């Protein structure tokens, strides 16, 4: 079997994400899918910044489990924009477009 490349190549997860997903290595695609499955199953999406979870919308509400992963996120994107979620509190939200940064910051 050919070695997986790009997004399908397994990557090493940092401790909090590994504990959350129950795996030490996963492809980025699988990490993102599992995070979204959890977010949807727990109705952690909202239409407004720091709004109540309502199962729809472009913002993700940080619950007790996600906050550990979100708080590990401080990353500078290609454009130079810094995504810093280290001070995010439980119940606050992130924009769903920040999920790629969250994944990147939680893998080695």
Domain ranges of the chain: 8-105
What pLDDT does residue 55 have?
A: 85
Q: Identify whether the C-beta of residue 107 lies closer than 8 Å to the C-beta of residue 30.
A: no
The two structure tokens encoding residue 42: 């727990």
User: Considering the entire predicted model, what is its pTM?
Assistant: 0.90
- pLDDT for 102 beyond 90: yes
The CATH architecture one would assign to domain 8-105 is Orthogonal Bundle (1.10)
| Mean pLDDT for the chain overall | 93
Distances from the Cα of 68 to the Cα of 9, 17, 78, 86, angstroms: 24, 8, 24, 9
Lowest mean pLDDT among 28-32, 59-63, 76-80, 89-93: 76-80
């Amino acid at each position: 079997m050919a070695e997986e490349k790009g997004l399908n190549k397994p990557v090493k997860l940092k401790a909090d994400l590994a504990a959350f997903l129950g795996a030490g290595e996963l492809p980025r695609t699988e990490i993102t899918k599992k995070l979204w499955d959890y977010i949807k199953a727990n109705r952690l999406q909202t239409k407004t910044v720091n709004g109540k979870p309502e199962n729809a919308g472009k913002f993700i509400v940080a619950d007790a489990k996600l906050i550990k992963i979100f708080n590990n996120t401080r990353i500078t994107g290609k454009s130079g924009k810094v995504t810093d979620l280290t001070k995010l509190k439980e119940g606050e939200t992130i924009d769903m477009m920040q999920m790629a940064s969250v994944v990147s910051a939680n893998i080695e």
